[in-house]
Structure 1
């Protein structure tokens, strides 16, 4: 059996400027993806933000450190580009949550990663990056001038040393434009109903997406995050324990209108890089997400400039693509080719088939 699902007794809370900037480090990829998802599917942004806010606080206090809570990028990315409807996304998230809870409870996470292979997992990540880049181009075509101006601003901020913060600046500008167009909404809590954006629908696409997402989650959100907990925060948190908490998150959040969530290693690294050292960063970010949920109306979202949304997705896609290749040594030509191959097949055909073919090729090369 795996590690018991228990609370961490070393919870530390600090509310300081560094904890606040650290909290923002985890929102760099989260907010653009959530806004894009809400703009392209039937999901309620307010319900999704409440889910992220609640679980940021819960897992920060539970683990006693600034653990990240991010969208499951393969599933959310597929929904943004239209490969999954929200009901299919909900079904895939529930399936993934159930599997993660089971494999974590039986200590099977490490075994599954060895079967799949890291190049295949990274290939799925690269495929999602390519799909998001394609969607970004489509969104930008409606107002190319706005898109070019947004990209120029991102490039300028990156040259000045604010590469990660540039996403939040563009998001804020889009928010200001939306408020000017739609007005300031009156704060209100989202309604508490079961599956407010549609009941889960199991389909072939949902099953394929689940398989691909589990590959990414086991490698990037469970094993890589467990290693970072030790490297950055000197905490012994097992990958199986993280798998369990991700399973609980998905199974609890999705019926309330949320989306599939995980403990991404990129978000944890982002929090550390921006100064977060305690669970205080999670509490601050959780409160911030819930505050945003109070004013996240459909009218405001509809007024958000789609071309700027395209710019945000370009930046997220580049970061995802870079992260897919970073862990692979430049000298390992076969692994690099496998990552690229899975990514291209995922773009041209679909991510589920790319994942299965990649796993078969990895197994054949390992023989």
Structure 2
């Protein structure tokens, strides 16, 4: 595949406004989570943004499509909530990378996805949403005035018909509040770092977080993304191909300070809804992320945590809506509540076992 064919696909190689608007469609699923991670942990926002910048361009050119690059939301939620340390996050990201690369390169993902049913995936999404919601509410109570401002902005944006962009708009307003206090940001080029966690970070929490993340990744980032790329762009990209690229991405990026990343159906749907039709939107978004990594990092430390709490709550609501998108809502709710009461990893394992037993019982009672 030539570079121009990879970037432009089969369409005329004309740059369009949709490349910019489509980039916004993907960023609404990324920036709120990434800013929260940088504000609440010791991870560097510049390194997080550079990870997304590089791989937006890499996978746009590789697939010739507006594929998405998003945070692994289960792992992101756990580190935001304090259930994972940053070292455990790195371990979980590397483990997920190894498993996804192995499953994708051996073309076994479709067989595995048969055992991780949609209700299990939706239940894990619901558990992650509840964890984010709890963290968001706790943060927003710190400064009711800023939280009220954020809620008001989100309500106006939602009433105007742009609900999915409400978290991004609240972020923009928050930065508008901060800049007069901090002044205009000065350029800062991040150093290249290489981080390998200690063996003690290979903990039960890291393993449980990896299991929970893989439940979402198989269903949402691989199978569902493959289907959307086919529906929207008439592209033949298999779940195994996407799993392989996600594995490569995490094995390369996580040791360099990036957050664990994946593809995602939400990002693809967002790009398409906002007008993306070629991989130009990936190149535009990668460039914007790189500029933000250099110029906009200094103001994150001053970002009002109460407004960030509202941003997390908005992200949680969107993720929770996806959690209810199944015919077996009772099953998803059960898995989700177990994830909050116990932990997300336990909920995933119990959900898979129950789903297998449920399917066997249904098959046994089906008349021949």
Q: Same fold (TM over 0.5)?
A: yes
Partner of 1:343: 336
Distance 1:288 1:15 in 2: 16
Partner of 1:20: 20
Partner of 1:332: none
Q: Structure 1, unaligned stretches of length 5 or more? A: 330-334
Partner of 2:276: 276
Partner of 2:317: 318
Q: Which moved more, 1:59-68 or 1:14-23?
A: 14-23
Shift of the alpha carbon at 1:149? 2.2
Indicate whether 1:106 and 2:106 are aligned.
yes
Q: Structure 2, unaligned stretches of length 5 or more? A: 361-368
Indicate whether 1:121 and 2:121 are aligned.
yes
SS of corresponding position for 1:62: helix
Distance 1:50 1:248 in 2: 16
Shift of the alpha carbon at 1:8? 10
Partner of 2:140: 140
Q: How does 1:1-367 map to 2 (within 5 A)?
A: 9-12=5-8, 14-195=14-195, 201-297=201-297, 299-326=298-325, 328-329=326-327, 335-367=328-360
Deviation beyond 4 Å, 4+ runs, structure 1: 5-10
Distance 2:189 2:179 in 1: 19
Shift of the alpha carbon at 1:6? 11
Query: In the alignment, is the contact (CA less than 8 A) between 1:45 and 1:296 conserved in 2?
Result: no
TM-score normalised by structure 1 residue count = 0.93
Shift of the alpha carbon at 1:16? 2.2
Residues 133, 6 of structure 1: alpha-carbon distance in 2 compared, 3 angstrom cutoff: farther
TM-score normalised by structure 2 residue count = 0.93
Distance 1:119 1:35 in 2: 30
CA distances 1:236-280 after superposition (whole Å, capped 9, x unpaired): 000000000000000010111101110100000000000000010
Distance 1:154 1:204 in 2: 38
Distance 1:10 1:287 in 2: 18
Shift of the alpha carbon at 1:184? 2.2
Residues 210, 282 of structure 1: alpha-carbon distance in 2 compared, 3 angstrom cutoff: same
Distance 1:161 1:319 in 2: 14
Residues 303, 251 of structure 1: alpha-carbon distance in 2 compared, 3 angstrom cutoff: same
SS of corresponding position for 2:295: coil
